[in-house]
């Protein structure tokens, strides 16, 4: 077989070589097979070793190849990456055959703490809605939510029924569809007031989510949710797909 020629052209040589090698790895060679040595490749394609190494480097970073010092460079088996698919609280609960409900603790307009204001892109003294809720499944408390929502794009939010999905209210009443979010998850231990709200002992393990959601690039929500670690689990499947694009499903689960 004669090798494709690498030339000075529209794309850099190392990119062309990369494509040649990726093609070779995917078709002519199988997983665990060795690709030609670097010195072999440089004569075969008439490029320098650094160009060969750069091409291989990028394939190694992408997980297509892996190197072993002294032995060679080999085709990797497709590696694992994951993307998560997240469902809403209500959806999760219903999927588990449980009935979700919400207990509204309070709604009021207030000036949020500076970090919240910053997340929401608000001026330091701008007011926002503060909404505190307890989420329940089959009547048992699962999570405590402390949310802040900018008041300017959401006039009269406090006059709505806040016992259900806020996202539905945003979409139906204000025409604001939440389309992105940043979420951070960590562990915490319940303090006295949180424990009381969740009807749990002080010191109960909690899963804490902080989520900042946006509609059309505008932050609309800053919410911290504290889930009972003993009643709530997150489950995800990590599966292989194709190189660089894997998907997973995630579900909340109550026990």
Partner DNA sequence: GGTACGGTCTGGTACGTACCAGTGATTCTG
Partner DNA sequence: CAGAATCACTGGTACGTACCAGACCGTACC
Q: Which of 22, 51, 137, 223 binds DNA (CB under 7 A)?
A: 51
| Cβ closest to a second copy, residue 5 vs residue 33 | 33
By the rule CB under 7 A, 44 interacts with DNA: no
Q: Say whether residue 106 binds DNA (CB under 7 A).
A: no
**Widest distance between CA atoms in the chain:** 75
* 38 binds DNA, rule: CB under 7 A: yes
From the list a second copy, DNA, none, pick the one residue 233 interacts with, judged by a Cβ distance below 5 to 8 Å according to partner type. Answer: a second copy
- DSSP assignment, residue 169? H
Stretch that binds a second copy, among 17-25, 81-89, 98-106, 122-130 (CB under 8 A): 81-89
Which residue from 72, 113, 121, 177 is in contact with a second copy, where contact means CB under 8 A?
177
Q: Is 68 exposed, middle or buried (0-12, 13-18, 19+ CB in 10 A)?
A: exposed
Q: Is the distance from CB of 126 to CB of 106 less than 8 angstroms?
A: no
Q: List b or e across 132-150, with b for residues whose CB sees 16 or more CB atoms inside 10 angstroms.
A: bbbbbbeeebbbbbbbbbb
199 binds a second copy (CB under 8 A): no
Contact mark string toward a second copy, 97..136, x via CB under 8 A? ----------------------------------------
Which of 27, 69 has the CB closer to a second copy? 69
118 binds, among a second copy, DNA, none (CB under 5 to 8 A by kind): none
Contact 59, 21 (CB under 8 A): yes
The DSSP letter of residue 115 is: H
Helix (H) or strand (E) holding 172: helix 166-174
* Site membership for DNA, residue 69 (CB under 7 A): yes
Residue 57 tokens read as: 């480097």
- By CB under 7 A, the residues from 131 to 160 that bind DNA are none
Cα distance between the two ends of the chain: 60
Which residues neighbour 63 within 8 Å (Cβ) at sequence distance 6 or greater? 76, 78, 79, 243, 244
Q: Which residues bind a second copy (CB under 8 A)?
A: 31-32, 50, 57, 61, 66, 68, 76-87, 171-172, 175, 177-189, 203-207, 227-230, 232-240, 244-250, 253, 255
């Amino acid at each position: 077989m004669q090798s494709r020629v690498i030339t000075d052209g529209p794309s850099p040589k190392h990119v062309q070589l990369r494509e040649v090698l990726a093609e070779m790895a995917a078709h002519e060679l199988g997983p665990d097979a060795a690709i030609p040595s670097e010195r072999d490749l440089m004569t075969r394609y008439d490029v320098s070793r650094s160009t060969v190494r750069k091409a291989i480097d990028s394939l190694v970073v992408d997980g297509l190849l892996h190197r072993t010092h002294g032995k060679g460079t080999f085709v990797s088996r497709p590696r694992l990456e994951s993307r998560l698919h997240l469902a809403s609280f209500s959806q999760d609960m219903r999927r588990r055959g449980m009935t979700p409900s919400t207990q509204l603790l309070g709604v009021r307009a207030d000036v949020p703490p500076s970090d919240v204001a910053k997340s929401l892109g608000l001026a330091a003294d701008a007011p926002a809605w503060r909404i505190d809720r307890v989420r329940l499944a089959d009547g048992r408390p699962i999570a405590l939510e402390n949310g802040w929502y900018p008041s300017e794009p959401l006039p009269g939010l406090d006059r709505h029924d806040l016992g259900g999905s806020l996202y539905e209210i945003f979409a139906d009443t204000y025409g604001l569809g939440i389309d992105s979010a940043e979420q951070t998850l960590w562990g915490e231990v319940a303090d006295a007031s949180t424990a009381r709200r969740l009807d749990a002992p002080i010191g109960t393990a909690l899963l804490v989510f902080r989520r900042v959601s946006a509609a059309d690039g505008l932050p609309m929500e800053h919410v911290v949710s504290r889930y009972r670690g003993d009643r709530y689990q997150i489950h995800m499947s990590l599966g292989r797909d194709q190189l660089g694009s894997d998907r997973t499903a995630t579900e909340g689960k109550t026990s």
